[in-house]
Amino acid sequence: MSIAPYQVSAYNTATASENKIHDDATAQRFGFKGGFVGGVNVYAYMTHLPLQTWGRAWLERGTGEAKFGKPVYDGAIAEVTGSEDSDGMSISVHSEGVLCATGRAGLPANLPQAPSLSDYKLVPPRAERSAASEQSIPVGEWLGMKPMPVTAEWQAQDVSDIRETDPIYAREGLVHPGTILRCCNWVLTHNVVLPAWIHMGSTVRNLGIARIGDTLNVRAKVTRNYEHKGHKWVELDCMVVANETTPIIQAMHIAIYRPRQLAEAA
């Protein structure tokens, strides 16, 4: 069953980021039209459909998946479409006539027992960052993030930047799932230097609700670090935690941390 499409005027929130893939000049040197909207923001657009379908229950215990194939550019319309099936819903994002992202969401009645907070090691972010490499983010390494207090002002700006139209976030003071997933980016950038990198996908299990006033942190383990098609890839098993006590999501987070274009330019 088809779901009413959701259209967003995409906004590149990271033009001033250390990650120069969001900068027009760098992205154009890599063969793209310009700097592109971050994957966590595209995921944020995608979450509108399961929220519309299942409501707050999805934020509390739903599942989500996103794979990013082509960029969504600043100012372009991103159209999110979905179709319900027996396992939940499939989701697609098209922009400027191009399929940019695919994914799924669900609200399963029976899931395996949720991972425990004690399964994820709490470590501080590194005092000094070195360049991302097989040596600096080896398989088995635990990573931590600089804790982030969520103020009302910060959250209001973030929901505005994401172009979210559902009133639940403002009405109930809830942190947006796109914001929560962005923490899995920060657990990388707070520990290693990444001149230009690309979030390629995430598989998410929602475990709880984060609210304005909470402080978010991440406990992440490097599960893979490998080369594919000339790119250097990293995969992280992350748990985002509120106030060091409450698991919010568990996510497998995948990124190209060194695009082959950087190696070719070196």
Q: pLDDT of 228-242, one tens digit each?
A: 999 999 999 999 999
Confidence of residue 136 (pLDDT cuts 50, 70, 90): very high
State both tokens at 35: 């700097």
Q: Please state whether the predicted TM-score (pTM) of the whole model is above 0.75.
A: yes
**Dihedral pair phi/psi, residue 44, rounded to 5°:** -60, -40
Least confident of 18-32, 59-73, 135-149: 18-32
Name the β-bridge partners of 36.
73
pLDDT the model gives residue 122:
97
Q: pLDDT of 200-229, one tens digit each?
A: 999 999 999 999 999 999 999 999 999 999
Task: Read off the amino acid at residue 13.
Answer: T
Instruction: Identify whether the C-beta of residue 265 lies closer than 8 Å to the C-beta of residue 20.
Output: no
**What domains can you pick out in the chain, each with its CATH number?**
2-108+120-265 (3.10.129.10)
β-strand 130-131 against 192-193: which pairing, if any? parallel
